[in-house]
Amino acid sequence: AQKITQTQPGMFVQEKEAVTLDCTYDTSDQSYGLFWYKQPSSGEMIFLIYQGSYDEQNATEGRYSLNFQKARKSANLVISASQLGDSAMYFCAMREGWAGTALIFGKGTTLSVSS
Amino acid sequence: GAVVSQHPSRVICKSGTSVKIECRSLDFQATTMFWYRQFPKQSLMLMATSNEGSKATYEQGVEKDKFLINHASLTLSTLTVTSAHPEDSSFYICSARGTANTEAFFGQGTRLTVV
CB contact under 8 A, B93 and A43: yes
CB distance A3 to A86 below 8 Å: no
Q: Which of A7, A36, A103 to mutate to test the interface with B (most CBs of B within 10 A)?
A: A103
Taken in order B112, B91, B2, B101, the sign of the CA dihedral is: negative
d(Cα A73, Cα B21) in Å, to the nearest integer?
37
Q: What is the pLDDT of residue B100?
A: 67
Mean pLDDT by 10 residues, chain B (115 residues): 91 97 92 93 94 89 95 92 97 88 85 97
* Beta carbons within 8 Å of A36's beta carbon, 6+ residues apart: A21, A23, A48, A49, A64, A66, A75, A77, A90, A91, A92, A93
Amino acid at B71: H
Amino acid at A87: S
The torsion defined by the Cα of A52, A56, A60 and A66, in degrees rounded to 10, comes to 70
**pLDDT beneath 70: ranges in chain A:** 1, 99
d(Cα B11, Cα A49) in Å, to the nearest integer?
31
Phi, psi of B88 (to 5 degrees): -85, -10
Q: What is the pLDDT of residue A38?
A: 97
Closest CA to B52 of B98, B90, B5, B110: B98
Q: Is A107 on the interface with B (CB under 8 A)?
A: yes
CB contact under 8 A, A103 and B43: no
Chain A: nearest CA to B5, how far in angstroms? 11
Strand partners, B78: B22, B70
Q: Is A63 on the interface with B (CB under 8 A)?
A: no
Q: Is A43 on the interface with B (CB under 8 A)?
A: yes
d(Cα A9, Cα A84) in Å, to the nearest integer?
19
